[in-house]
Every structure is written in structure tokens, then in C-alpha cells.
């Protein structure tokens, strides 16, 4: 499995994205292809040894709560330790923070080995994302005490947004944060508050994997009237450690009032503890007051903005998770199809029942299901790495390039999250299908990939939320600047593609599709009524995503055709095949999706409730 993944990553990173050129930048000057490869090698090995063999274990030995502590299988501890010891938690950080100043695109590529081997045994992305948010919005002391101890592996991090009554609708959270007495503002760890409320769907919300857990919590500071401010403007962000610490990062021995109320029992992704947490309910009274102790991060009322830094990272990571589950299923079903004997090919010889059976991969329909998976999953991987490269560009490019990279990333983020979560799930279903009856038994891994992947259209912002973000905000903000930038970027690919006879027709097809999306965007907003424009936001996002993926494949194909002879002939044939597949089988699907957007179809929105 990892052989294929490694060669795919090598191609995408070096031949396609030219990640090697990043070493010319000051931040990455100590790096080289060799140091990048060493990171990839290490991650590949840890994933193979500590993650892959235990993927089914963490599915069947779900986290248990004994009333005091969360019980996890030993393999989860071992995987966590190996990961933390590798230094990957801080790989992209500054040297001063203990990091290795690795480009984010290389970190992402390296991280894909873990996601492919076992998506749910580790939840390290939350720790990194948490620490990154503190780096950006926290005080130097908060950075040093909390972020640094997450990056070095001592502590883990969470993000606590949702509540039982407020999932997608964060403006409705009711967790309260009240100033913790006299002098609350002078605490060296930050203005000190007491938090009370319940948080739902908190991944890794409690466990014994690390000495401490740093919760980043959204809560509302009541106004002078004691009431919570409605809407997102009332939301602030707090660091709430499970165990209190001093300014040196030592545990003070005091347990904070953060109590595990229960574990969610899930369809998939079972290795990662998912919790309902009670803040300040009194189970662990602390320092003689009521409420969990938390330290304000950033300014009051700007909590959601601060947290979005973390959420955008998390969304791209979810896209990568979905992608790697898709690839894992592809590899598993490819292996199976290459060995399992069943039936005979259609046509000549197919009717000679005395001929030996052939392998599954010799059937056209099995090849179709394999190529669809390859096209979905490797395409999604290309998109995710492309987005990761934009992060690097936004951090290290010149001012204009950085601004453009950030804008493009804004537009692409909902696609990077939503598209893999929908189509790599479909890939997993095809992986099951190739296995026949064996596919739906728990003796083969593919059913678990499919279950694990089903969470990705929901967590970190549902499909509906992503679609509203895309059509309601990203393509219209700044007068449509993001959409125009995307179009110009795609047109650069079209110009390259038109120079290859094999790709010219696809360039024409994509140009038309891009125009169709642009026109549909206009038509959706023609009446200026958000209710009409957004009624079909999800079909819009599906079409938009397919256009983005077609662009990815066309750009990849340009690199294949432009490359020197060092590329594997077979791998190049596979990439060209996946490109053809996407343009022949997938891109034509946008017509049906865009039709309802263009007409602002009100069939669904207009149907009376009692008609359902």
C-alpha cells in the first residue's frame, strides 16, 4: 500500500507542485529534498508499524468510560508516543518553538501516511491546530505555557465549539464565562474567567494519553445585565486546561472542573474518543469557586474569529482524512482485484466455462470501479496538497503572492473539505462493491473505511454549512474577487493544456464548465435574495467541486506530459487514465447540478411542511 502512496506523493510533491523549490526561501533554507524525504520515510515507517496493524483494534475496542477515566487500548498509547517522539507535532513550527520549519505541504504529505494507515487511532491534528491558534491569538505567556507544551508532545489539545443545542448554529451557544473575582485581569496566564456549560462532540475531550489536555473553548461573557449577547458577536475564546498549571508549565496538582459526562458511540472513526464535557458543573470544585477556570485568548467577542483559524485548518485536515480513507480503500480493493479469481471476461472466450476463472481486475466493470476510486482519491489528494502549498505561499511568498494564495485558499477550503468527504466516501463504497460479499464482512478492511468516512460530511462543518459558506460568502466576497482569481488560475492551466493535443479537448470542456459555474453563480444571485440563491447551495458546491477536481487532473496531466523520462511509464498511464475518466465520466455530471442553481429551483424550498 505505502509503496503506491509514496510514489504518488513523490510525484505530486516534487514533479507537480515543485515543492523542492521551496528550499530557496529563507524559512526553508536548511531543508533539501533529502530532509523532506527523511520526514516522509519516518512517517511512512511509524504509520506502517504503529498505526496500520491496529486499525481494526481501535474499531472493535472502543473507548470506555469507567466513571473516572477513559480506557483506551495499548496500541493507542503506542501510536501516540511514536507520533509525538517523531517531532511531527511541531514539524512546521519555528525553530524557537522546537519545530523544524518544515513546509506545510511536506508536513501534510507526511501526515497522509497516518491517515491512510488508521484515521482514528490518532487525533493529533487537533493538538497542532489548537497550538497554532494559540500561537496566532494568544499572549507570549500563553504560547510558551500552552502551545509549546502541545508541540513538544507533553499535552494534547481540543476544540470545544458545539453544544447539545448548538451544533451548526454556533451563535446559540450558552456556555457562560464570568470574570473570576478581583484581579481576574492580572493573571499572568491571561484574564481569568469561570466557565459553566456543556460541550458536545468534543474529539479527544478526555483521555490519559497525555499529562494534561488544553481545551480551547467558545463561551459568552454576559453583559452588564447578566444576559448573554445573542449571535456570534458575543462569543469569546478561552484556554481551559484539564489540570491547572503554573507559568512554568508545571502542573499545580489542581484538577480543573472539566468533567466527562459521557462518550458518544459512533458509526465509525471509533478509535478517537468523542465526548460530552461539562464545564463547571461542580464535579471537581477548584480554588473555592464555581466554574471551570479559563484564560481569555484574544479579545472578548472575537472568539469565533480566533477559532476559525483552527477550524479552517481542521476542515482541510478533514478533507485529507476523507481522501486518505478513499485511497486506503482503493489500495485494498486493487490488491483484492489483482488476486481474487471470479468469472470470465465478457465476449470471446467468456462463454468457455472450462477456461480457468480470471482475476477480478480483468473485468471491465471492476476496472471502472477502480479507476473511479483512483480518480476521486488521487484527485482529492492533489487538491489537498495544492491547498497545503497555498498555506506555504501565504506564509512565505511575497506580499502579492501571499495575498493571492490566502484568497484562493479561502475559496477552495469548502471544496477541500466537502468534496473528498462526499466522493471518497463513494470511492469506499466502490471498494466494498469490488470485494463482493467479502466486502460487507468485517474480515476485510473496506467496510470500516466506509463507516469511518461517513463522519466527514458532518464534523467540522456539515456539507450544508460548507455550501452556504461557498455560495453565500466565498464566491461573492470582495465583489467576487476570489472566484475571479480561481478562474484566472484555472485559465493558466487551460493555456498549458491547449499545447498538448491529447488535452486540448479537455481544456475546452473545462473552460465551458468554468463558464457554466460563473453563469450559475450570477443566476443564483440574480434576485439578490439569499433564500433563493442558497436553496440549491449543495448542488452548486457539488458542481463547483467537480470543476475544481477536473482542473486538478488537467494540471496533473500537463505535468505528466511535460515531464522528462524519469517518470514511471505505468504511473503516467494511470494518471492520464484517471484524467480521462474524470473528464468522460464525472465532469458531465455538473449539468444536472447547475440546472437547479441557475433556475433558483424552488421545488424543495417551496414545498409545504405537511406535504412531506
Which residues in 418-437 contact its own copies (CB under 8 A)?
A: 429, 432-433, 436-437
- 229: DSSP letter: P
Shortest CB 61 distance to its own copies, Å: 16
Nearest residue (CB) to its own copies, 364 versus 401: 364
Question: Can residue 204 be called a binding residue for its own copies (CB under 8 A)?
Answer: no
Site string for its own copies, 219-248 (x = CB under 8 A): -----------xxxx---------------
Among positions 120-149, residues that touch its own copies (CB under 8 A) are none
| Per CB under 8 A, 304 contacts its own copies | no
Measured CA to CA, the distance from residue 557 to residue 499 in angstroms comes to: 12
Nearer to its own copies, 265 or 399 (CB): 265
Residues 472-491 that bind its own copies (CB under 8 A): 472
Is the CB of 32 or the CB of 599 nearer to its own copies?
599
Measure the CA–CA gap between 163 and 194, rounded to whole angstroms: 17
x-or-dash string of contact with its own copies, 162-181, rule CB under 8 A: x--xxxxx-xx---------
Binding of residue 413 to its own copies (CB under 8 A): no
Is 609 a known active-site residue? no
- Are 387 and 316 contacting, i.e. CB atoms less than 8 angstroms apart? yes
Distance of CA 96 to the CA centre of its chain: 27
Residue from 385, 391, 457, 513 binding its own copies (CB under 8 A): 457
Query: Which residue among 97, 179, 361, 523 contacts its own copies (CB under 8 A)?
Result: 361
Min separation Cβ 603 and its own copies, Å: 5
Using the rule CB under 8 A, which residue among 224, 226, 347, 501 binds its own copies?
Answer: 347
Smallest CA-to-CA distance from 551 within 467, 494, 608 is with 494
In angstroms, what is the minimal distance from the CB of 324 to its own copies? 18
Q: How far is the CB of 270 from its own copies (least distance, A)?
A: 10
Separation between Cα atoms, residue 363 and residue 353, nearest integer Å: 16
* Measured distance CA(487)–CA(314) in Å, rounded: 26
Per-position x/- string for 435-454, each x denoting binding to its own copies as judged by CB under 8 A, each - no binding: -xx-xxxxx---x--xx--x
Judged by CB, which is closer to its own copies: 295, or 540? 540
Helix (H) or strand (E) holding 81: helix 74-85
Window of 5-13, 128-136, 366-374, 555-563 that interacts with its own copies by CB under 8 A: 366-374
| Nearer Cβ to its own copies (105/457) | 457
Q: Are 525 and 464 in contact (CB under 8 A)?
A: no
Per CB under 8 A, the list member of 253, 354, 479, 501 interacting with its own copies is: 354
CB atoms < 10 A from the CB of 238, how many? Answer: 27
Task: Find the catalytic residue in 447, 460, 491, 609.
Answer: 460
Annotate 126-163 with DSSP letters as a single string: HHHHHHHHHHHHS-HHHIIIIIHHHHTTSEEEEEE--B
Question: Smallest distance from the beta carbon of 370 to its own copies, in angstroms?
Answer: 5
Closest to 606 measured CA to CA, from 596, 593, 591: 596
> Using CB under 8 A, which of the segments 119-127, 237-245, 282-290, 357-365 binds its own copies?
357-365
Distance CA 104, CA 91 (A): 8
Please say whether the beta carbons of 64 and 106 come within 8 A: no
Q: Are strands 235-241 and 274-279 parallel, antiparallel or unpaired?
A: unpaired
- Out of 58, 320, 334, 412, which residue is the one contacting its own copies (CB under 8 A)? 334
How far apart are CB 466 and its own copies at their closest, in Å? Answer: 11
Q: Which stretch binds its own copies (CB under 8 A): 137-145, 206-214, 249-257, 352-360?
A: 352-360
In the bound complex, what is the minimum distance in angstroms from residue 178's beta carbon to its own copies? 21
Cα angle 85, 88, 94 (rounded to 5 degrees) comes to: 115
Strand partners, 112: none
- Binding segment for its own copies among 82-90, 190-198, 217-225, 466-474 (CB under 8 A)? 466-474
Nearer to its own copies, 290 or 571 (CB): 571
Question: Cα-atom radius of gyration of the chain, to the nearest Å?
Answer: 25
**Closest to its own copies by CB, 271 or 574:** 574
Q: At what angle do helices 303-339 and 2-10 cross, to 10 degrees?
A: 120
Q: Please give the Cα distance from 506 to 512 (Å, whole number).
A: 10
How distant, in Å, are the alpha carbons of 414, 472, 476, 535 from that of 531? 20, 10, 15, 6
Q: Which stretch binds its own copies (CB under 8 A): 101-109, 248-256, 403-411, 525-533?
A: 525-533
At closest approach, how far in Å is the CB of 346 from its own copies?
5
Find the angle CA(455)-CA(459)-CA(461) to the nearest 5 degrees.
135
The residue within the footprint of its own copies, chosen from 539, 544, 547, 555 (CB under 8 A), is 539
**CA dist 226 → 120, 222, 223, 229, 370 (Å):** 41, 5, 5, 9, 59
Using CB under 8 A, which residues numbered 249 to 278 contact its own copies?
A: 264-268
Nearest distance from C-beta of residue 482 to its own copies, angstroms: 20
Q: DSSP string covering 301-312, please?
A: T-HHHHHHHHHH
| Measured distance CA(570)–CA(579) in Å, rounded | 14
* Among positions 346, 401, 526, 563, the unique one binding its own copies when judged by CB under 8 A: 346
Site for its own copies, residues 493 to 512, rule: CB under 8 A: none
Residue 72, SS3 per DSSP: coil
Catalytic center residues: 460
Amino acid at each position: 500500500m505505502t509503496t503506491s502512496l509514496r510514489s504518488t506523493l513523490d510525484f505530486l510533491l516534487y514533479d507537480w507542485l515543485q515543492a523542492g523549490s521551496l528550499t530557496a526561501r529563507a524559512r526553508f533554507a536548511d531543508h533539501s529534498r533529502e530532509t523532506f524525504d527523511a520526514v516522509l520515510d519516518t512517517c511512512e515507517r511509524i504509520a506502517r508499524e504503529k498505526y496500520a496493524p491496529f486499525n481494526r483494534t481501535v474499531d472493535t475496542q472502543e473507548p470506555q468510560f469507567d466513571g473516572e477515566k477513559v480506557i483506551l487500548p495499548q496500541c493507542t498509547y503506542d501510536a501516540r508516543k511514536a507520533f509525538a517522539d517523531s517531532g511531527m507535532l511541531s514539524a512546521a513550527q519555528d525553530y524557537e518553538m522546537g519545530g523544524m520549519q518544515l513546509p506545510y505541504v511536506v508536513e501534510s504529505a507526511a501526515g497522509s501516511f497516518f491517515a491512510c494507515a488508521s484515521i482514528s487511532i490518532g487525533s493529533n491534528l487537533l493538538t497542532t491546530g489548537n497550538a497554532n491558534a494559540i500561537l496566532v491569538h494568544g499572549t507570549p505567556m500563553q504560547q510558551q505555557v500552552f502551545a509549546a507544551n502541545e508541540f513538544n508532545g507533553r499535552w494534547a489539545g481540543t476544540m470545544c465549539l458545539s453544544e447539545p443545542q448548538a451544533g451548526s448554529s454556533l451563535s446559540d451557544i450558552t456556555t457562560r464565562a464570568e470574570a473570576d473575582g478581583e484581579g481576574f485581569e492580572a493573571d499572568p496566564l491571561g484574564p481569568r474567567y469561570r466557565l459553566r456549560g456543556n460541550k458536545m462532540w468534543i474529539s479527544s475531550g478526555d483521555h490519559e494519553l497525555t499529562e494534561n489536555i488544553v481545551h480551547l473553548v467558545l463561551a459568552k461573557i454576559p453583559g452588564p445585565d447578566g444576559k448573554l449577547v445573542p449571535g456570534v458577536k458575543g462569543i469569546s475564546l478561552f484556554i481551559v486546561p484539564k489540570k491547572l498549571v503554573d507559568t512554568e508549565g508545571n502542573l499545580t496538582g489542581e484538577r480543573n472542573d472539566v468533567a466527562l459526562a459521557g462518550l458518544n458511540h459512533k458509526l465509525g472513526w471509533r478509535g478517537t474518543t468523542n465526548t460530552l464535557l461539562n464545564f463547571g458543573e461542580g464535579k471537581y470544585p477548584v480554588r473555592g469557586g464555581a466554574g471551570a477556570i479559563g484564560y481569555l485568548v484574544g479579545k472578548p467577542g472575537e472568539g469565533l474569529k480566533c477559532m476559525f483559524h483552527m477550524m479552517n485548518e481542521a476542515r482541510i485536515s478533514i478533507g485529507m482524512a476523507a481522501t486518505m480513507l478513499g485511497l486506503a480503500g482503493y489500495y485494498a480493493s486493487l490488491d483484492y482485484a489483482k488476486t481474487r479469481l471470479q468469472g470470465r471476461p465478457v465476449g470471446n472466450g467468456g462463454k468457455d466455462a472450462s477456461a480457468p476463472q480470471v482475476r477480478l481486475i480483468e473485468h471491465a466493470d471492476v476496472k471502472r470501479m477502480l479507476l473511479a476510486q483512483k480518480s476521486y482519491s488521487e484527485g482529492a489528494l492533489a487538491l489537498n496538497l495544492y491547498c497545503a502549498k497555498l498555506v506555504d505561499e501565504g506564509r512565505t511568498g511575497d506580499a502579492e503572492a501571499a495575498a493571492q494564495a490566502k484568497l484562493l485558499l479561502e475559496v477552495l477550503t469548502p471544496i477541500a473539505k466537502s468534496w473528498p468527504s462526499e466522493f471518497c466516501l463513494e470511492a469506499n463504497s466502490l471498494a466494498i462493491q469490488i470485494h463482493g460479499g467479502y466486502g460487507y464482512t468485517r474480515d476485510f478492511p473496506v467496510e470500516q473505511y466506509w463507516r469511518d468516512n461517513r463522519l466527514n460530511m458532518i464534523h467540522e462543518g456539515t456539507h450544508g454549512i460548507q455550501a452556504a459558506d461557498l455560495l453565500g460568502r466565498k464566491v461573492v466576497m470582495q465583489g467576487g474577487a476570489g472566484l475571479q482569481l480561481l478562474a484566472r488560475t484555472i485559465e493558466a492551466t487551460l493555456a498549458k493544456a491547449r499545447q498538448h493535443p491529447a488535452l486540448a479537448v479537455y481544456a475546452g470542456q473545462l473552460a465551458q464548465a468554468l463558464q457554466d459555474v460563473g453563469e450559475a453563480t450570477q443566476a443564483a444571485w440574480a434576485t439578490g435574495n439569499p433564500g433563493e440563491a442558497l436553496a440549491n447551495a449543495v448542488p452548486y458546491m457539488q458542481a463547483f467541486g467537480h470543476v475544481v477536481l477536473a482542473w486538478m487532473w488537467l494540471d496533473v496531466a500537463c505535468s505528466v506530459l511535460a515531464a522528462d523520462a524519469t517518470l514511471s511509464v505505468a504511473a503516467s498511464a494511470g494518471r492520464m487514465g484517471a484524467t480521462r475518466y474524470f473528464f468522460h465520466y464525472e465532469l458531465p455530471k455538473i449539468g444536472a447540478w447547475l440546472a437547479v442553481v441557475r433556475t433558483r429551483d424552488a421545488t424543495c424550498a417551496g414545498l409545504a411542511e405537511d406535504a412531506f
